[in-house]
Amino acid sequence: MSEFLIHVAAVSCLYGILALALNLQMGFSGLVNFGLIALFGCGTYGAAFAHLWGWPPLAGLALGLIFAALMGLFFARLGARMSEDYWGIATLSLAEIMRLVFTNEQALAGGAQGVSGLPVSFAGLAGQGAGLSRLALYAALLAAAFVLCQRITRSGFGMALKMMREEPQLARALGYDLGRMRAIVMVISSLMAAVAGFLYAHYLSFVGPEQLMSHETFLIWSMVIIGGIANNWGVVAGAFLMQFALAYVPFVKDWLDMPSDFVAATRLVIVGGGILAFLIWRPKGLFPERIGGSHG
């Protein structure tokens, strides 16, 4: 297996975790979060702060998880005060505020320069051993996240989440506390996103504010929309599909002998065009949600 394929597969696993987190929020619960990348950033900057302060990497993970849980709760509290569409805009704004703060505050994790030199996991292994070990770790965590999401969405709580998504007023009328449900979903999915962020930081050995650009959020959205909203298998497939599609853009550039700008522009076209095309021609994605069937 080539280094390149190992790399793309490893990154796909991390984005698969992010896609599952967004799917739990947006797909199953109807929480239209355009600020998912901020929750991912809690994980990356948890790793960065731990590195700067000389803490062991696992302390960075704990820090990132705490940041993410608090931010997820904050998002959920905001959601109780505003309608769904305004909440979506608010989450996008919060993620942008976070990125701008980390870009402009030099004293805070290096500002625009970011933090480099984070220890890379399995760095001591020779040859492809390190890459394959990382891939195995990420794949195992993706599988764990997948099982967790499947268990949640197939439980009574998962049915209640779908009720919240479809008919929130009716769910309240049946005694469901939507504020509490929203908080639980946001915390669980925020923790998942933070784990992906922490691993990503130690994979690249670098954390910087450009990792929090809003187009990263829309890349994760494209994975969910193309894979199949509210289908856990689908969004993981969407993550791999999109990552591999984006990874091959540089080869297309070389083949067509296009300038370097072509790569970035084409990636944006693939994400934006993919979202648009699927929303128009196949809004349920490649693997549509399975409806009903859990009770007789």
Q: Which stretch binds another protein (CB under 8 A): 11-19, 22-30, 160-168, 238-246?
A: 160-168
- Record the tokens describing residue 127, joined without a space: 């040859």
What residues from 28 to 67 belong to the interface with another protein (CB under 8 A)?
Answer: none
Q: Write the burial class of residue 91 (CB in 10 Å: 0-12 exposed, 13-18 middle, 19+ buried).
A: buried
Instruction: Say whether residue 169 binds another protein (CB under 8 A).
Output: yes
**Least distance CB 58 / another protein (angstroms):** 38
Q: b or e along 221-248 (b: 16 or more beta carbons within 10 Å of the residue's beta carbon)?
A: bbbbbbbbbbbbebbbbbbbbbbebbbe
What are the backbone dihedrals phi and psi of residue 54, each rounded to the nearest 5 degrees, phi first? 75, 20
CA pair distance 53, 274, nearest whole angstrom: 41
Q: Is 117 in the site for another protein (CB under 8 A)?
A: no
- Write down the least CB distance from residue 179 to another protein, Å: 9
Residue 183 binding another protein, by CB under 8 A: no
Q: Using the rule CB under 8 A, which residue among 177, 210, 215, 276 binds another protein?
A: 177
Cα distances (angstroms) measured from residue 167 to each of 85, 183, 232: 16, 18, 22
Q: What's the residue count for the chain?
A: 296
Query: Should residue 254 be labelled a site residue for another protein when binding is judged by CB under 8 A?
Result: no
Q: 89 vs 170, which CB is nearer to another protein?
A: 170
Q: How far is CA 154 from CA 200, 224, 227, 286, 295, in A?
A: 29, 18, 19, 20, 10
Q: Of 26-34, 103-111, 176-184, 186-194, which part binds another protein (CB under 8 A)?
A: 176-184
Among 13, 48, 163, 184, binds another protein (CB under 8 A): 163
Q: Does 174 bind another protein (CB under 8 A)?
A: yes
| Interacting residue ranges for another protein, rule: CB under 8 A | 159-160, 162-163, 166-167, 169-170, 172-178, 291-296
